[in-house]
Amino acid sequence: MNKAMESMDGFRVSKFEFMMYGAIFLVIALWYYYKWNRKDVNRLAAKLKGPPSYPIIGSGLEFLGTPQQVMENLLKCFQKYNSELIKIWLGTSFAVIIYKPEDLQIVLNNSKSLEKGNFYSFFKNTVGESLFSAPVDKWRLHRRIIAPVFNNKLMKHLFPVFHEKNEILIKKISIEVDKTQPFNLWDYIASTSLDTICQTMMGYKLDTQSNIESEFANSIKIVSELDFMRTYKPWLYPDIIFTIYRKCKGLQNIYKDLHKLPNQIIKQKKEKIAQRKIINRTDASDDSFNRNEKNNPKVFLDKLLQLNETGANLSDEDLRDEVVTMMIAGTETTAITLCFCLLLLAIHQDIQDKVYEEIYEVLGENDELITFEDTFKLNYLEQVIKETLRLYPPGPLFLRELQDDIKISSNNYVLPKGTTCIISPLGTHHISELYPNPWSFDPDNFNFENVMKRHKYSFIPFSSGPRNCLGAKYAMLSMKVLVSTFLRNYSVHTDIKLSDIKLEIDLLMRSVHGYPVTIRSRDRRNNRK
């Protein structure tokens, strides 16, 4: 008996060993639970092609390098895994790149795919929880508030501002006339876009065109690179690591610098509204003032502040977030597209001549300013702008996170709940079955006959579905006005070829080497070209 007891003592487990075995068992149980919960994801991932991935960091190693190298690797990914869906691991998160129009229509219109997802938290330092990044419930509320602002009455009201800013552009850029050395269009177009959006949407006269240096404009490029970089570098996901990284790069105050101008605009607008209330109380009989107030449509920021007074309950942070989003979207995307458009016209002189002929036919040889109604007659110019957006969509990628399983057209795949859908206008716009010679510049891709042949989700530069871009109509109008005004005054030229254009990506897609052109004056009375 004693011997048996002694033998049993050899099997006794110490407290430390018990805890260690328990920990191992717990880890194994959690691993199996994790794998069980992701069985649908793993089953789908096994069927799809995509870049290699590694534990924890996912496919991050495939996208190391400069913004240009990241863009090159993304394009290689499209070419190498030329299938209906491409799998990619963003850290431990499973994602699929979607670009087939039939699949896009299903995903972008499904109520279970309206959520932008956790990755958009990386953009909150910049735009907070605005229309761009807000969770669905907050997005619905803000969209109901903001959508009515973009109406035709407001669009017509904005034309004097378009004319004013474009006139400044034409005068400023005149110093480049007949020079043989190319200049970068961005240096002039970006400031014009920023001044225009500030005055048309915020009622704030910035005048960056007279001062090339802009802290806000300089900050946009930097924060765009920082925010986008976090999506494919999992080691920067933790906020504390990202904060340390910014300090090491000397960028700890970059977001404060970005927000200075929007905060200043909101403060000044609130002060003007307070002064207006005092005038109304002290001189309520001033009918001319009251009539002027009624006849002038409220601009974006006016409307937000007015609605806030009637119960919209937008916090100061909410106001700032929407203003920052509007300023970035209205400045950067428009300026990039305009620069690409004018550069493409410089490369393709025959297309530039055709655009100018249309402008001449619609607006004549006099100095009559383009009107709201005139813009709808510039059909070929619209084709040119759309082809620019097809070839170089400023927002090449955006994300959706599925809140439930969704069945799509491609092989009847079911995308499991939790999947991150990477929507790629860049991929969709370069499908050769939709656009023959997809890397060529051909405005006829958007003539009536060709548009009717294609699926309506073959062209999504402003996204589509319920969460599309509210400013699409504004952007198209403002671009038509600027390009037509520019070409009435100058012809644009360049020595580079289409194949010389190299792309880079931060939050948006840009030209690595800028937009180098030369310009010559037009004499509309004696020379129609």
What six digits make up the tokens of 68?
Answer: 């240009």
Tokens of 487: 């070409």
Contact 155, 473 (CB under 8 A): yes
Say which amino acid occupies 124. Answer: K
Measured CA to CA, the distance from residue 333 to residue 338 in angstroms comes to 9
Task: Indicate the burial class of 91 (C-beta count within 10 angstroms; 0-12, 13-18, 19 or more).
Answer: buried
Is the distance from CB of 486 to CB of 170 less than 8 angstroms? Answer: yes
CB-CB contact of 476 with 382 (8 Å): yes
Of 508, 394, 511, nearest to 462 by C-alpha is 394
**29 φ, ψ (degrees, to nearest 5):** -65, -45
Give the CA angle between residues 121, 123, 128 to the nearest 5°: 85
Eight-state DSSP code of residue 296: S
Residue written as token pair 């990755």: 119
| End-to-end Cα separation, the chain, in angstroms | 113
**Residues contacting 315, CB < 8 A, separation 6+:** none
420-423 and 398-401: which strand pairing? antiparallel
User: Which string of DSSP letters, residue by residue, matches 134-182?
Assistant: --HHHHHHHHHHHGGGS-HHHHHHTHHHHHHHHHHHHHHHGGGBT-SS-
Q: Three-class SS of residue 332? A: helix
**Pair 486, 519: CB distance under 8 Å:** no
Q: Please name the residue that has the structure tokens 């620069």.
A: 339
- DSSP β-bridge partners for residue 86: 49, 97
Q: Provide the 3-class DSSP secondary structure of residue 491.
A: strand
Between CA 485 and CA 293 the distance in angstroms is 30
Distance separating alpha carbons of residues 494 and 180, to the nearest angstrom: 10
Alpha helices in 368-439, H assignment, sequence order: 372-375, 379-391, 425-428
Who contacts 69 (Cβ-Cβ below 8 Å, separation ≥6)?
none
Give Cα separations from 426 to 200, 228, 429 (angstroms). 29, 16, 5
Q: Determine if residue 469 is labeled as part of a ligand binding site.
A: yes
8-state DSSP, 333: I
Say which residue the tokens 């004693």 belong to. 2
The whole-angstrom separation of Cα 221 and Cα 31 is 41
Binding-site residues, in ranges, read 469
Binding-site residues for heme, in ranges, read 469
